[in-house]
């Protein structure tokens, strides 16, 4: 029961065990009541034990659970002690106590993850031990793309639970793209009335001849978003929204054609894009576009309390701006050198706008091109180079290089992998990922906020496909993000695999359709659907 993932900083075992019974109580001291509510709810549904509220830690002792804050611990640090007095979880904040509660759930065994008791007598025991633990990084993220294939609200809530079970604490919510706009904006209703659905969908890679000839769509109401944000907050997860500008915007232009480069193409003829790749139809750099998106971001800020707001900024082709007299006039008016500086100006506008409202802009590493405002942060996806450049320039960085932690990339070279995309990234490859580039000095490395795994859903048409791509690799990523591991080559992958044997049973109890170690099950394959595999090892930088 001590095969824990992610691996704790320190575990000291002792002889004996705490047995939770119908008489066991749970006491949450001031500041931990939310964690107590969550823990009692999940354990009651899995065990059937009432876990009534204790009057104090003494009342929770012996066979009970106590939760309390310890100001001597770091914000997400926790200490779990199981002994003759019961189980005590202390944390430097409610978040620390929550991560300790997640560890307790693992200690109780896989059945502690079920939604109802199995109806047979069993003992719920926690071995005597002391665990002291704290995360390596404060940004331990998962990005989920719901624009390419929509995930209904219940699926998003489920992924928040899966993140929490792995001690991940940032949910990067990719809400808009060429293929769909997924958040209701009250002042611009056509964004979801028109932009949230497409008439058909490419099946497989964009070179595939296959299509799904039926509409695909969906969006979240503002109440849905409020619920998602609140649900995440209860699990100490921050939701960072992404609204793409100025590229990846065809869904918005299809809804409001005046947002596009109307002097170059007939934007009224555009529909929500039904295929994949880099789209040439980008936003026009006009005052009207700026005011429109300020209105969008005003509503976004009301819904998301996150310090960071992601604006995309990646893969913005400049061809239409080169051909647009309006765009060229703006370049001359602003005294810019070229279209790259025009994009920098566009991003800079929203950086200043967000800063004035107490928020921070973050974007993909292309926002470095043409210069970047001092307070902006960077998601380094095109390898390590963008993150290195950003950190050396004094910008905070989230490391998410596609060569290492893009979970849409295939997991093995065999022909049975469903819709193979990108480089082979095995469970071991992810486990040996190192977020901090060795080229950085200690001072520069302090700008690495953390790391994030990205899940792009072009070829993931339902939650089972998302599960297959994400798991079990997210467990390896979670350990990289949380645990103080040695250098990649020195990591004990064999030990991790041994601990995964227990963790697969937890994933089974959670109903996760992960990729089995031996390869895909027959129904997980997608024979005949063209992918885009890349041969050879990925570049290391």
Q: Which residues are catalytic?
A: 177, 248, 315
Instruction: List all residues 6 or more positions away from 2 whose beta carbon is below 8 Å from its beta carbon.
Output: 11, 13, 107, 127, 129
How many angstroms separate the CA atoms of 42 and 54, rounded? 17
The partner residues of 228 in beta bridges, in order of sequence, read none
DSSP 424-473: ---HHHHHT--SS-TTS-HHHHTTEEEEEEEE--TT--SHHHHHHHHTTH
> Per DSSP, what are the bridge partners of residue 469?
none
Q: C-alpha distances in angstroms, 279 versus 2, 155, 275, 318?
A: 49, 28, 9, 11
CA 5 to chain CA centroid, Å, is: 18
Two tokens, residue 163: 């993140």
Name the DSSP letter for residue 63.
T
Length of the chain: 541
Beta bridge partners of 201: 212
If you compute the radius of gyration of the chain from its CA atoms, what whole number of angstroms results?
24
Residues 6+ apart with CB under 8 A from 440: 388, 391, 392, 448
| DSSP code of residue 292 | H
User: Are 129 and 61 in contact, with CB atoms under 8 Å apart?
Assistant: no
Separation of alpha carbons 379 and 364, rounded Å = 5
């Amino acid at each position: 029961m001590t095969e824990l993932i992610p691996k704790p900083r320190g575990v000291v075992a002792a002889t004996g065990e705490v047995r939770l019974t119908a008489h066991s109580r749970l006491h949450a001291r001031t500041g931990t009541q939310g964690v107590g509510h969550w823990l009692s709810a999940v354990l009651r549904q899995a065990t059937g034990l009432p876990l009534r509220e204790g009057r104090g830690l003494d009342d929770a002792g012996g066979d009970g659970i106590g939760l309390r804050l310890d100001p001597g611990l770091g914000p997400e640090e926790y200490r779990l002690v199981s002994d003759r007095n019961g189980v005590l979880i202390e944390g430097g904040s409610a978040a620390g106590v929550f991560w300790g509660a997640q560890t307790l759930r693992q200690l109780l065994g896989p059945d502690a993850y079920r939604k109802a008791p199995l109806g047979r007598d069993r003992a719920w025991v926690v071995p005597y031990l002391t665990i002291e633990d704290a995360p390596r990084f404060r940004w331990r993220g998962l990005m989920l793309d719901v624009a390419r294939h929509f995930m209904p609200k219940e699926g998003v809530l489920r992924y928040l639970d899966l993140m929490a079970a792995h001690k991940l604490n940032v949910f990067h919510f990719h809400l808009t793209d060429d293929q769909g706009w997924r958040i209701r904006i009250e002042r611009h209703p056509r964004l979801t009335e028109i932009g949230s659905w497409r008439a058909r969908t490419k099946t497989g890679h964009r070179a595939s001849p296959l299509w799904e000839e039926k509409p695909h769509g969906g969006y979240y109401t503002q109440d849905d978003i409020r619920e998602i944000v609140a649900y995440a907050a209860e699990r100490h997860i921050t939701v960072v929204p992404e609204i793409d500008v100025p590229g990846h915007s065809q869904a918005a232009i299809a809804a409001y054609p005046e947002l596009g480069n109307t002097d170059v193409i007939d934007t009224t003829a555009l529909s929500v894009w039904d295929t994949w790749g880099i789209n040439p139809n980008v936003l026009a750099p006009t005052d009207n576009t700026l005011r429109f998106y300020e209105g969008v971001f005003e509503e976004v800020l009301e819904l998301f309390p996150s310090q960071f707001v992601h604006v995309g900024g990646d893969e913005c082709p400049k061809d239409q701006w080169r051909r647009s007299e309006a765009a060229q006039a703006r370049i001359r008016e602003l005294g810019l050198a070229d279209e790259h500086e025009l994009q920098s100006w566009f991003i800079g506008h929203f950086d200043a706008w967000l800063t004035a409202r107490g928020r921070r802009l973050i974007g993909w590493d292309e926002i470095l091109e043409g210069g970047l405002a001092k307070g902006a942060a960077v998601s380094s996806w095109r390898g390590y180079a963008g993150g290195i450049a950003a950190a050396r320039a004094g910008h905070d960085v989230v490391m998410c290089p596609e060569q290492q932690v893009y979970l849409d990339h295939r997991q093995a070279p065999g022909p049975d992998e469903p819709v193979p995309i990108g480089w082979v990234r095995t469970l071991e490859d992810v486990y040996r990922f190192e977020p901090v580039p060795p080229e950085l000095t200690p001072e520069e490395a302090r700008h690495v906020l953390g790391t994030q795994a990205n899940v792009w859903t072009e070829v993931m048409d339902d939650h089972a496909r998302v599960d297959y791509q994400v798991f079990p690799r997210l467990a390896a990523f979670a350990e990289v993000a949380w645990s103080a591991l040695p250098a990649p080559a020195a990591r004990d992958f064999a030990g991790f695999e041994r601990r995964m044997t227990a963790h697969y049973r937890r994933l089974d109890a959670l109903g996760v359709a992960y990729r089995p170690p031996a390869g895909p099950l027959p129904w997980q394959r997608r024979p005949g659907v063209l992918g885009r595999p890349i041969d050879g090892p990925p570049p290391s930088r």
